[in-house]
């Protein structure tokens, strides 16, 4: 099952793909800093998925 379509026109620009990935990892850091490790793990997993789909596999 595909959760994200990397061929969508929104992700055509490289800076948009990087920004989506960095924002997810950045929010994971914010959650970890605020003492919510479960949410930090969720956003880190989302960032890893975004990195895999938008940066590595594309």
Q: In the chain, pLDDT over 70 holds for what percent of residues?
A: 100
Residue 5 lies in a domain: no
For residue 10, the model assigns a pLDDT of 96
Q: Do the beta carbons of residue 28 and residue 43 sit within 8 Å?
A: yes
Which structural domain, as residue segments, surrounds residue 33? 11-56
- Per the domain annotation, does 31 fall within a domain? yes
- Considering the entire predicted model, what is its pTM? 0.90
Number of domains in the chain: 1
Give a yes or no: residue 1 inside a domain. no
Q: Residue 2's pLDDT band (boundaries 50, 70, 90)? A: confident
Q: Which pLDDT score is estimated for 12?
A: 96
Q: Please, are residues 21 and 43 in contact by the beta-carbon 8 Å criterion? A: no
Q: What is the pLDDT of residue 58?
A: 78
């Amino acid at each position: 099952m595909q959760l994200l379509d990397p061929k969508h026109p929104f992700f055509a620009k490289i800076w948009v793909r990087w920004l989506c990935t960095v924002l997810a990892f950045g929010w994971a850091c914010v959650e970890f800093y605020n003492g919510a490790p479960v949410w930090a793990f969720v956003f880190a997993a989302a960032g890893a998925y975004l990195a895999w789909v938008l940066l590595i596999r594309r």
